[in-house]
Structure 1
Amino acid sequence: MTQLSQTRDAVLTITADVKAHAPQVLAELRANGPVQRVRLSSGIEAWAVLSYEEARAALTHPALLRDPTPSEKALTDAGYTAHRVGVGIGGSMLQEDPPNHTRLRRLVAPAFSARRTKLLARRVHEITDGLIDAMAGHDEVDLVQAFTAPLPITVISELLGVPEGERDQFRDWTAAFLATPSDAQRAAGAALNAFMSALVDRKQAEPTDDLLSDLTAQSNAEDGRLSREELVATGSLLVIAGHETTVNLLGNALVALFRHPDQADVLRSRPELLEGAVEEFLRLDSSVEMATPRFAAADLTLGGVEIRRGDVVAVYLAAANRDLGDPFELDVTRPHARHIAFGHGIHHCLGAPLARMEATIALGALLNRFPELRPALPLEEVRWIPSGMMRGPLELRARLR
């Protein structure tokens, strides 16, 4: 595998096996150059950006946009439809460039401010304690099912105003939607959109004190600041991004602590390190392995590679983060761990403060309540998300005592 950056032939297909060993595989690929040709699990061929500096440059490059027009044929051939308005999260801020992105983000941003996040902390503590109490009667649990999934789903559902008892399918829908383009993926996106559309109708008729009611009021405004399609797409995006990233942040952090039990002991004895440790977990194993694709609106050069108009560019946040220091070392005492796990530039994750807060509270409570917490199966047997842009364990069997 030499001179890979000088050919347009795909040199690596992102399979389930590659994703299971992504940190090692991407590090080997990066050793050949910061930008490499790959075939994504969707079947789309793309330029993979693998180094920290090139990743930051790509995420803010004026010619790398979310507008897929130059790449439409490649996306259509692969069955990729999530970018289209009215499908999945098409029409949400994640799929838009300025000025639409600016307008949509401004409407949602106040709900995820540092001040609002701090006010949510007490409720996150309550949810965390309830989940831990429910686990306490068991010797062994699947931490994903019992803890890392229900906590973020509950938090984002309450923030949006999704009634309890109507959230059960969120995890299945989002997992399918974030996987390889397929009939199942498109069906999951349609199901989530239909649910969100019906919920919007209810918020219009009977608004409550929640984010979706606030956004629905914006949609009803005479100046039309938020169209119906944008409202549904934004709600769907917040369901997906608002919990899936944190589910996997928590799962990846626990795998890392299971691999390095001495670091778990450090956090138990020095809980003041937890906030900084969350940054280290994000650096070591980003829950968003690959940022949503960018599309070249003009020819450009990145990392010594000539990228042509219409080419797809995939920024591998996970690879970029491991481009700093020892890529496989976990050090929860590391000051100010640098990473771009939440992206960079105008699409930097709005929910980053909320995810950080949830992770700090959840990991601290879990480590404190279960001092003998350990994996129930060899970590080599952990099954990882097999396709798509996310990285995280599908299940994580653990002994509590």
Structure 2
Amino acid sequence: MTTEIPKKPSDPLPTEFFMAPGDNPYDGYAEVRRTCPVRRVDYPADSEAYVVADYRTVAETFGNHTVAKSVEHAPDWFREALKESSPILIKNMLTSDPPVHTRLRKLVSKAFVPRRMELLRPRIQEIADDLIDEMPERGVVDLFHDFALQIPMKVICRFLGIPVEDREQLHQWGLVLSGAPYTDEESNRRLKEVSEAVEVYLTDLLGTRRADLGEDLVSVILRAADADDAYTDEELVSTLILLIIAGHKTTANLIGNGTQALLRHPDQLTLLRDRPELVDTAVEEFLRYEGPVYRAPPRYAAEDVTVGGVDIPCRSFVHLLINSANRDPEVFEDPDRLDITRKPNRHLSFGHSIHFCPGAPLSRVEGQVAFTTLLRRLPGLALAVPENELEWRYDNSASRGLERLPITYDRRLPRTAPAAGGNGGSDA
């Protein structure tokens, strides 16, 4: 399904273009890039809002501080809705601008350096193999829920020092928080309940960890906070919420989206199976081709501003369409072709400039381990349903992934030493 694009560039794009474009949004993205790459959109409904669809303008806007991330620049109704239903969500680096962003980013930047993430590779490998061991010898498996989602959730729980038995509760809370703010009163009531529950849980975790600091990420964050004496507990809790949500949903989508892309392109599947050393460039291509985050978090015009030649009024929403930029033919040769050997690959799936995702090194290692392990241990991997039956999910956390990924395979091979490939830290 492809959303119909209004013929007049002056007409706003419909809500479904933004929030429910279906299994193939790329034809619509191409039409918008061709006709008017900065264009009004009806999302949120009845608001002054714009999408940015071409690579050059998206990349430039990432660094344009007059298009701000802080909700203080959002329309009054939106800002008040967030503060009322989930105030803890808006006190981390994802919803801030310099110098606040710079200060909050310091809490996690040192923890996610590639060298430190590479040390996690053996544990990630163990988790991936354990999950495949739990699969039947043959049959149909939902690879998204039984593998793609489980790897990053278990890893982030371990990295944060959170009990593994709490991961399902955290995942369910994350699903509710991802939709903030909602358009109906009942959903916002539930959002407020979940926000309060998460805040209590993480505040207790901070208190417990302060009494017995270890080597986990929560302890790293607490040491950094205590050293600078410049952070509130609300900021610490909000940062942990961001890490939990972003730390598992996006990587789960990377693994799920990338696997379905491989299964739809048998030549690339065979190439990666035969040459697992290509996994580094393959992961970058999956991030570009079917990005796990289809747009950047919302931005707001802090003043009247011109973006891509279009005048945007103060307090307008500005949405950067990452997955559209990643298919821009002005930057990527034959952009609608999956090519796991593609170089260079300057995709924007991890953001850009000062807003480049600090968790990128961890996500890359998890993806490298996941794909090499799947192809090594599950020969005959194939979709268990027709391609057109795969259902895509979009939400307010800006993620794009599959609801389910039913797969089959010929047999399940035993654990062996990992194949060569994957340096865990190369930049896109």
The alignment's TM-score, normalised by the length of structure 1, stands at 0.92
8 Å Cα contact 1:295-1:313 kept in structure 2:
yes
Q: CA deviation at 1:31?
A: 2.4
- In the alignment, structure 1 residue 56 sits paired with structure 2 residue 36: no
| Matching residue of 1:26 | 29
Partner of 1:310 in structure 2?
A: 315
Task: Give me the whole-angstrom Cα distance separating, in 2, the residues matched to 1:132 and 1:45.
Answer: 48
Post-superposition offset of 1:69: 2.6
The alpha carbon displacement at 1:260 in A equals 0.7
Secondary structure of 1:267's counterpart equals helix
Amino acid in the other structure paired with 1:369: R
Alpha carbons of 1:76 and 1:10: their partners in 2 closer, same or farther (altered >3 Å)? farther
C-alpha displacement at 1:44, in angstroms?
4.9
Task: Find 1:11's aligned residue among 10, 13, 16.
Answer: 13
CA contact (8 A) 1:246 1:359 kept: yes
Matched residue type, 1:29: V
The change in CA–CA distance for 1:45 and 1:148 in structure 2 (over 3 A counts) is farther
Using the TM superposition, give the Cα deviation of residue 305 of structure 1 relative to its aligned residue in structure 2, in angstroms.
0.7
Within the candidate set 46, 51, 55, 2:49 is matched to 46
Shift of 1:218: 4.1
**Separation of aligned partners in 2, 1:138 and 1:12:** 44
Quote the Cα distance in structure 1 between the aligned partners of 2:69 and 2:179.
Answer: 19
Residue in 1 that maps onto 2:166:
166
For 1:58-137, list aligned pairs within 5 A: 58-76=61-79, 79-81=81-83, 87-137=87-137
**Counterparts in 2 of 1:396 and 1:41: CA distance versus 1, 3 Å:** farther
Change (3 A) 1:399 1:10: same
Greater CA deviation, 42-51 or 135-144? 42-51
Unpaired stretches in structure 1, ≥5 consecutive residues: none
CA apart distance, 1:219? 4.2
Are the counterparts in 2 of residues 92 and 230 from structure 1 also a CA contact under 8 Å? yes
2:404 counterpart letter in structure 1: E
* More moved, 244-253 vs 63-72: 63-72
* Contact 1:10-1:38 within 8 A present in 2 as well: yes
Mean Cα displacement is larger for which, 182-191 or 369-378?
A: 182-191
The answer to whether the 8 A contact 2:71-2:95 is kept is: no
The answer for the alignment partner of 1:395 in structure 2 is 404
User: What letter matches 1:203 in structure 2?
Assistant: R
Stretches of 4+ moved more than 6 A in 1?
none
Provide the rounded CA distance (Å) in 2 between the counterparts of 1:313 and 1:154. Answer: 34
Find the partner of 2:275 among 270, 273, 291. Answer: 270
2:265 matches 1:257: no
Secondary structure of 2:51's counterpart equals strand
2:3 match: none
Describe the shift of the 1:226–1:344 C-alpha distance in structure 2 as closer, same or farther (beyond 3 A).
Answer: same
* Residue 364 of structure 2: aligned partner: 356
User: What is the distance in 2 between the residues matched to 1:41 and 1:327?
Assistant: 29
8 Å Cα contact 2:107-2:225 kept in structure 1: no
The one-letter amino acid of 2:401's match is: G
Distance 2:154 2:211 in 1: 24
* 42 and 3 in structure 1: CA distance in 2 versus 1, 3 angstrom threshold: closer
1:205 aligns with 2:208: no
Question: Is residue 14–residue 41 contact of structure 1 (8 Å, CA) maintained in 2?
Answer: no
The 5 Å alignment of 1:199-348 reads: 199-220=205-226, 224-323=229-328, 324-348=332-356
Distance 1:168 1:14, change over 3 A: same
Q: Pick from 148, 172, 197: which aligns with 1:191?
A: 197
1:188/1:46 CA distance change after superposition, 3 Å: farther
Shift of 1:45: 4.4
- Per-residue displacement from partner, 1:11-63 (whole Å, max 9, x unpaired)? 22136542443223322322222111112367754210101000001100121
The separation in 2 between residues aligned to 1:345 and 1:52, in whole angstroms, is 14
Q: Deviations over 1:295-314 (max 9, x none)?
A: 11122211221112111111
1:359 counterpart letter in structure 2: G
Question: Deviation digits for residues 212-233 of structure 1, max 9, x if unmatched?
Answer: 1232344455x52221111100
- Residues 318-357 of structure 1, C-alpha deviations (whole Å, 9 max, x = no match): 1110113333211112222221000011111001111111
Deviation string, structure 1 residues 128-171 (Cα, Å, up to 9, x no partner)? 11111112534111001110001001111111110121111222
Q: Which amino acid aligns with 1:117?
A: M
Q: State percent identity of aligned pairs.
A: 38
RMSD between superposed Cα atoms in Å: 2.1
Structure 1 equivalent of residue 373 of structure 2: 365
Cα distance change, pair 278–179 in 1 and its aligned pair in 2 (3 A): same
User: More deviation in 271-280 or 100-109?
Assistant: 100-109
**Residues 12 and 37 in structure 1, CA contact (< 8 A), matched pair in contact too:** no
Q: Is the 8 A contact 1:128 1:362 kept in 2?
A: yes
Shift of 1:76: 4.5
* Inter-partner Cα distance in structure 2 for 1:339 and 1:65: 22
Alpha-carbon separation, structure 1, partners of 2:138 and 2:44: 38
Code of the residue aligned with 1:400 in structure 2: it is Y
Residue identity in the other structure for 2:303 = A
Q: Is the 8 A contact 1:271 1:364 kept in 2?
A: yes
